[in-house]
Chains A and B, each alone.
Chain A
Amino acid sequence: MTSDKRQHLNPLSIIYFIFRHSWDTIFLIIIGSGPITRWSTSIGIPPLFGFSLLILLIILWHTVRYLCFTFEISDEMLTINTGVFVKKHTHIPYSRIQTVQHNQWFFLVPFHLEKLQIETAGHDESAPEAVLPLVNERVREAIEQKRTGGAPIQPNSPETPTEQLSTPEDQADYEINPHELNIFALTSLGVFPIIGALFAIYGKVQEAIPQKVIDSVTNEIVHQSAIILGVVGVLIVILSIAGSYLNIIQKFYKFRLKAQKDQLKTEQGLFQRNSVTIPTARIQALRIKQNVIRQWCHIATVQALAASSAGDDEKSNDLMILPVVKNDQVFSTLAPFVSWAPKKFSQLSGLPKRTYWYFMRNASLFSLIIILPCLYFFHIWGLLSLPALLIAILMGWYSAGNTGWKIMNDQLILQNGHYFTRSQYVIPHKNVQSFLFVQSIWMTHSKLAHIRVNVRHGNRNELIEIRYLPENKGKEIFNWLQIR
């Protein structure tokens, strides 16, 4: 690959541009339909011709965009030039790259084309700094080579040498266990929102059916309605479980994690193969996450918090390292990939039983937001919302029971529980951006405090909080964090 030459994307990306802006196009056509019809009839050409002209213009526009979109892989940096009228040049030095992410749809595999996204730690925009919508796989190889290759990558010497030494040179490789993935998919709590959505759709569909139809049908089925409702309910539940199950399976299909020289590479997906590369030194913290069902099944998820929004999900920016792994193998599996990770689960300090009350009280107060309006609007039927209170109390109990902390060498381990999901964070001291010690005036009497720790995650801040821990323990953590 000749290096200092401007290159274009693959010409197919014109289709990509049009596809991505298809809403604009449809909007334009709708807006333009009136004027175009009038104008074409007035000068005596068929309206269809006018529309073809408009479409031609749109295609032409995107072609111009394509022609103006160039990139250049030079020795020090990647340069991307975009814009038709307003020219924009983005320069990204290879050493500043946080993650390289590439997506490949299965139908693009034979053409060796993929979408490439490159991110730095800059947090001006929520979008990646560089997106090359459709390029040959060779481009990525060239960039990666420049990034890892002979170029002077490490200007920040004081903290890197130790990490470089301890990073495993042998290339570790991990592939997801299909059996575990199966359990993982079955134990997702993600089905609940889907169930909710399907019920909502069902409700809407029912509303949409004309009253007449319902009336005529109702008489026949009024005595069967209970059965029908039951069947529909069961169907909805089965459909949502199946949907969520298949979605997870296709997303994490053949998930692979590879350790290459100083960096991690993940690969996943059935229809769209998604791959993320991240330097190990850029990982800000680790999160070990399991919902309550997965706790019973003894499986956990390991995610990396990094200063880049590459991840499996556009919203959460969670970068999966191990989507599913048995509890007792978490750290042994992790060790070859993240050198600073603890060697095993450590015994965390927990909350004294008397503080459980605060969690349960707060959760109950929140549940009142649902219960009180229910009681107000539905009177006696509103009592049906009371189970929300029970769930809230259980949730509070769960959160309290799963709160834990420990200071280990130069790492802080914090664990909390939210919505029946336990998250354990392993945070190296140097990655704590700022930290808070929070107390209400009543808590000074009960000698309790909250500790909040801020860590960079994606393009934003991740606030990790453990609540209602004893004041002296809180001070201990705070003082430890203060050590330079």
Chain B
Amino acid sequence: MNESNHLPKQIKTVWRISAMINTLIWAAVGIAVLVAHHFFGQPWLLYGAWIFFAIAVIDFIVEMGLVPYRYSFWLYTLTDDAVELRSGFIFRKLVSIPIARVQDVTLSAGPILQSQKLQEVRITTASTSHKIDGLNPEVGEQLRKQIMKLAVEVGTNDV
């Protein structure tokens, strides 16, 4: 497991669905403003509504367009004593979290992630928190086991 891994393929679907939901939320706000315009007749409300619609469209295009980019440049590596997260192509970032410093790992899944059988993993140290957007439950479980094992070996890492 020492080579870099992409996130599971299903995460693209998750990102796309969440992009759509975001767009729908912006659009819903826009519609609400339109309705307000209908009732109060303030002309500036109309401009507001159009701004929200524009945001909805731009947000949709950007998020959808970025999905392949995010997928191909977001890598994680699980070594024996560290979790490494690599992201970005233009602005490259490599984060290393020594497992010995990890205070807790939270696995969570909302309805979208559940539909794709994925889990969001949040790794917390004494000072920082790192998120992996989605992992197969087996990998999450492995991470959890590894951390438990190392925690027992190292003893509690005190701040």
A contacts, CB < 8 Å to B: 121, 155-159, 281-282, 284, 307, 430-441, 444, 454-457, 460-462, 478, 481-482, 484
Contact = CB atoms under 8 A, between A and B. Distances in A.
A454 B155 contact: no
B141 interface: no
Interface of B: 81-82, 89-98, 100-101, 125-128, 130, 154-159
A58 B90 CA distance: 61
Contacts of B157: 430
Contact of B94 (A430, A438, A440): A438
Nearest to B86: A437
23 contacts: A156-B156, A158-B154, A284-B159, A433-B101, A433-B127, A434-B96, A434-B127, A434-B128, A434-B130, A435-B95, A437-B96, A438-B92, A438-B93, A439-B91, A440-B90, A441-B89, A441-B92, A444-B92, A454-B125, A454-B128, A456-B126, A460-B127, A461-B127
A454 B123 CA distance: 14
Contacts of B128: 433-434, 454, 461
Contacts of A441: 89-92
Contacts of A456: 126-127, 159
B158 to A, nearest CB: 5
Contacts of B127: 433-434, 454-457, 460-462
A217 to B, nearest CB: 44
A436 B92 contact: no
Interface residues of B, dominant DSSP: mixed
A121 B126 contact: yes
Given A456-B127, A460-B127, A434 B155 contact: no
Nearest to A154: B158
Nearest to B129: A461
Contacts of A431: 159
| Most chain A beta-carbon neighbours within 10 Å: one of B90, B98, B154, B155 | B98
A340 to B, nearest CB: 15
Nearest to B89: A441
B97 A434 contact: yes
B98 A484 contact: yes
Contact of B101 (A159, A282, A432): A432
Contacts of B91: 438-441
A482 B94 CA distance: 12
Contact of A158 (B98, B101, B155, B159): B155
Nearest to A439: B92
A433 B125 contact: yes
Contacts of A440: 90-92
| Most chain B beta-carbon neighbours within 10 Å: one of A434, A444, A460 | A434
A282 B93 contact: no
